[in-house]
Structure 1
Amino acid sequence: MGSGRCVLLALLLRLLLLSEPPAGVSAAGSSSSFLGEAKDAEVFQWMRGLRGRIHEHPELAYEEFETSRLIREELDAMGIPYKHPVAVTGVVGFVGTGGPPFVALRADMDALPIQMCSLMGCRSNFVMILQESVEWEHKSKVSGKMHACGHDGHVTMLLGAAKILQRHREDLQGTVVLVFQPAEEGAGGAKKMIEDGAVENVEAIFGFHVDSENPVGVVTSRPGPVMAGSGFFEAVISGKGGHAAIPHHTIDPIMAASNVIVSLQHLVSREADPLDSQVVTVSKIQGGEAFNVIPDSVVIGGTFRSFSRESFAQLRQRIREVIVGQASVQRCTATIDFLDDKVSHFPVTVNSEDLHQHFVEVAGDVLGSNNVRTRQPVMGSEDFAFFSEAVPAAYYYFLGMKNESQGPLKPPHSPFFRINEEVLPYGAALHASLAAEYLAQAHTRSAAAQAQGQVHDEL
């Protein structure tokens, strides 16, 4: 009897799978055809125009009103419904059936302030506000602000993916959630989007970043931790100021700060497991107004990063202990602020093991398997990490955009940063494919599970 049930179950499952179209297949063909659609001259020029308009008018965290308006206009033109505002300026669109399963695609919208300090110091009266240093037709029109991290490209490629998905909406077996997120650059936009319900009922989410180091058409990622968790600290070390010619009448906070900075470096070199990547960097030191005066206090600040919650908590504790202890050795006092209420601390960005296999298969189909490569984790951080904590499965990848014939690309957060627009069709097509294939496979799994339950009930 048991063998008969197994045979019947197998036959029913086979019939079910044969009755369903293969994952990702539509009237227009498989999702590998999405790249051809994205490379269509009309679509490509549309994306280039969008990216140029966004780039000309960069907006900082929670100020992305014009960017948000442009996104909504494009979604309206495509006939895609959306929610707005979400997290002040965010937009959440919906393509497909409107029902489960739900898979999300995320793009960040905010630009960066571009500043440079003179050789005399970085106090407000010495700050030089710079314009973008790349000369092109859509150069930033806002002094001191620039899309120097590629978010204008991210928004453009998500809108490109939306256009492709909307063309195939009748073939989608669930709903793609389009997440246009404000304030990625340290202001906790992802967290606010989650709090406002942007990923409610979403079971998987994909995000990406343009990559200056790899060629166009190459993507890199890995399962597990892919970007570090990050925190920030600021400390005021106080002593007793006085004339530099009579230091014995002072309590020198500069000397104390120097010892603190050196000792903080020992937290990684002497206390951390060499196989557990960690970073402590002091990137700010301010104190003193004259060459012959020892100041009353010095301010130092920096960042700490790791790939585990345990290491992160240990670093935070030891940073406090080292600053207070070393200041005390030099007869100074110290107060430490970890800036929890002022700067967003990002958790570790962790990629789902299951979605990694999905990514490798889909990206291989779209781009070619030789263009899907593994990368090492990086100590940079991303607020996509909040999505990786809030959504059952999350995946973040890097999209190459280098073209050797055009010369090297500058890294992000530089006034010389630029995007090679050849990347736009690749990001749009891959994002659309990841979502469409996920829904098709989820539908097949669900149908198979239901069939198995029905067979069991009947027997």
Structure 2
Amino acid sequence: MAINNFWIFSLTFQLLLLLHVSSESSWITDDASRRPSKFLEYAKSPEVFDWMVGIRRKLHENPELGFEEFETSKLIRSELDLMGVKYKYPVAVTGVVGYVGTGEPPFVALRADMDALPMQEDVEWEHKSKVPGKMHACGHDGHVAMLLGAAKILKEHHQDLQGTVVLIFQPAEEVFAGAKKMIEAGALKHVEAIFGIHLTNQVPLGKTASRAGSLLAGSGFFEAVITGKGGHAAIPHHTIDPVIAASSVVLSLQHLVSRETDPLDSKVVTVSKLHGGNAFNVIPDSITIGGTLRAFSGFSQLQERIKEVITKQATVNRCNASVNLKPNGKEPVPPTVNNMNLYKQFKNLVRDLLGEDSFVEVSPIMGGEDFSYFAEAIPGHFSFLGMQDETKSYASPHSSLYTVNEDALPYGAAIHASMAVRYLEDKASKGSDSPKDEL
């Protein structure tokens, strides 16, 4: 009888233990599934939302161009200090790289660009740019605020992190050089994947847009000086007219897409600048032209053809031509290609966070982004966060009337943080090959 009682007691104890573990496991799973919505609630709280808006407005009032973001990075470092987030500075002149989590593998990165554009703001409001000829006209001030918001969320929940989140505040995206410099400076050391978010007025507030594979085109610029021999317009036979040569060049460049490119392979060559002469009756000595090229494939070949067309058309018209494929130091960038697995993770995450209709499958876009350098070095995913609403009209990027819908900031912060946490959980469950190292 005593033996039977013992076995009954033992079985009862084991059953209770199993029920407790099962209940605890269910609670953990439920908590993990609710985490993204909790992050969004936290980001939308008045305290955090107002703080992000304040940061964005400070940056907007004081825009800085590429590799000149000293006050911008100072503000970022000040906020990271207040959070207790470790960071490295300077990285690529003005860049900042922060670290939240265990300090051990796996490592996943989140990126925000922080430079402004050399243009005058035409929006009259309380926080208009205080710097003449400089403006945050592409949302980078909002990108910084969102990544700092993500840093705050992640720091508040650092005990949940199963690895390390690397926060990359990148300079000089607009001149297509910052990402490359950050990589050269070691910003991606041990990082296995990277995510980037860009605000857009083409998608409604609370929705995101992306695609697998090629999202943004390879992008570059060209500038050429076509030199002839100037003289009086009444005696053109005594001159070598660079205007005629430049005209032939512009028309011939259009054939590179219309006659030499597969119609199913999207490419763009646009001549957007033509300068020369200052009198009605004088043929100038030279003409300067410039423009941009975009392509998802065959980018370097297109560059060479542009150079060849310019120089040979100039020769046909008895002129000389010099071609610069990096005018004003503007680096060409490769296409931005989203990793398939990261795309699937992102798509599932935003649907969990914002609902089934929150994700928009976008067509390839001919714009360029130097995030492509990160996505070339390691698996990467770039997406767009909507900010359009039905009551206001938001201008397109690089417009002097550009504004940011600040209601989008909590969405960006929550998506950043949630994506990083989910990636680390997935990697931890599968194991990571990243070596341990001092940050």
Q: TM-score, normalised by structure 2?
A: 0.90
Partner of 1:357: 344
User: Please, which of 371, 383, 396 is the counterpart of residue 397 of structure 1?
Assistant: 383
State the 1:17 CA deviation: 12
Q: Quick check: 1:157–1:424 contact (8 Å CA) kept in 2? A: yes
Partner of 2:111: 106
Partner of 1:314: 301
1:1-31 CA distances to partner (integer Å, 9 max, x unpaired)?
A: xxxxxxxxxxxxxxx9999889986589422
Correspondence 1:264-303 to 2 at 5 A: 264-303=253-292
Q: Quick check: 2:218–2:295 contact (8 Å CA) kept in 1? A: yes
Correspondence 1:334-413 to 2 at 5 A: 334-339=321-326, 342-391=329-378, 393-406=379-392, 408-413=393-398
Say which SS state the counterpart of residue 391 (structure 2) adopts.
Answer: helix
Which region of structure 1 is more displaced relative to structure 2, 337-346 or 132-141? 337-346
State the 1:337 CA deviation: 1.8
Partner of 1:445: 430
User: Please, which of 246, 256, 270 is the counterpart of residue 245 of structure 2?
Assistant: 256
Q: Distance in 1 between matches of 2:407 and 2:248?
A: 49
1:362-414 CA distances to partner (integer Å, 9 max, x unpaired)?
A: 011111121101001111100101101112x10000000011112x1111111
State the 1:154 CA deviation: 0.1
User: Please, which of 190, 194, 201 is the counterpart of residue 205 of structure 1?
Assistant: 194
Partner of 2:436: none
Say which SS state the counterpart of residue 248 (structure 2) adopts.
Answer: helix
Alpha-carbon spacing, 1:151–1:403, altered in 2? closer, same or farther (3 Å): same
Q: Distance in 1 between matches of 2:363 and 2:356?
A: 18
User: Please, which of 62, 74, 80 is the counterpart of residue 85 of structure 2?
Assistant: 80
Q: Which sections of structure 2, spanning at least 5 residues, go unmatched?
A: 1-20, 433-439
State the 1:241 CA deviation: 1.0
State the 1:88 CA deviation: 0.9
Partner of 1:95: 100
Alpha-carbon spacing, 1:272–1:43, altered in 2? closer, same or farther (3 Å): same
Alpha-carbon spacing, 1:135–1:349, altered in 2? closer, same or farther (3 Å): same
Residue 65 of structure 2 corresponds to residue 60 of structure 1:
yes
Alpha-carbon spacing, 1:223–1:20, altered in 2? closer, same or farther (3 Å): farther
Alignment-mate amino acid for residue 145 of structure 2: T
Alignment-mate amino acid for residue 301 of structure 2: Q
Say which SS state the counterpart of residue 126 (structure 2) adopts.
Answer: coil
Q: Quick check: 2:176–2:333 contact (8 Å CA) kept in 1? A: no
User: Please, which of 419, 423, 426 is the counterpart of residue 434 of structure 1?
Assistant: 419
Alignment-mate amino acid for residue 344 of structure 1: E
Residue 304 of structure 2 corresponds to residue 304 of structure 1:
no
State the 1:188 CA deviation: 0.4
Q: Distance in 2 between matches of 1:83 and 1:324?
A: 46
Say which SS state the counterpart of residue 264 (structure 2) adopts.
Answer: coil
Alpha-carbon spacing, 1:298–1:25, altered in 2? closer, same or farther (3 Å): farther
Partner of 1:423: 408
Say which SS state the counterpart of residue 144 (structure 2) adopts.
Answer: helix
Q: Quick check: 1:24–1:437 contact (8 Å CA) kept in 2? A: no
Residue 332 of structure 2 corresponds to residue 327 of structure 1:
no
Q: Distance in 2 between matches of 1:181 and 1:446?
A: 29
Alignment-mate amino acid for residue 98 of structure 2: G
Q: Percent identity?
A: 60
Say which SS state the counterpart of residue 232 (structure 1) adopts.
Answer: strand
User: Please, which of 122, 132, 135 is the counterpart of residue 124 of structure 2?
Assistant: 135
Aligned pairs, how many?
412
Q: Quick check: 2:225–2:287 contact (8 Å CA) kept in 1? A: yes
Alignment-mate amino acid for residue 384 of structure 2: F
Alignment-mate amino acid for residue 293 of structure 1: V
Q: Distance in 2 between matches of 1:434 and 1:21?
A: 22
Q: Distance in 2 between matches of 1:363 and 1:234?
A: 42
Say which SS state the counterpart of residue 404 (structure 1) adopts.
Answer: coil
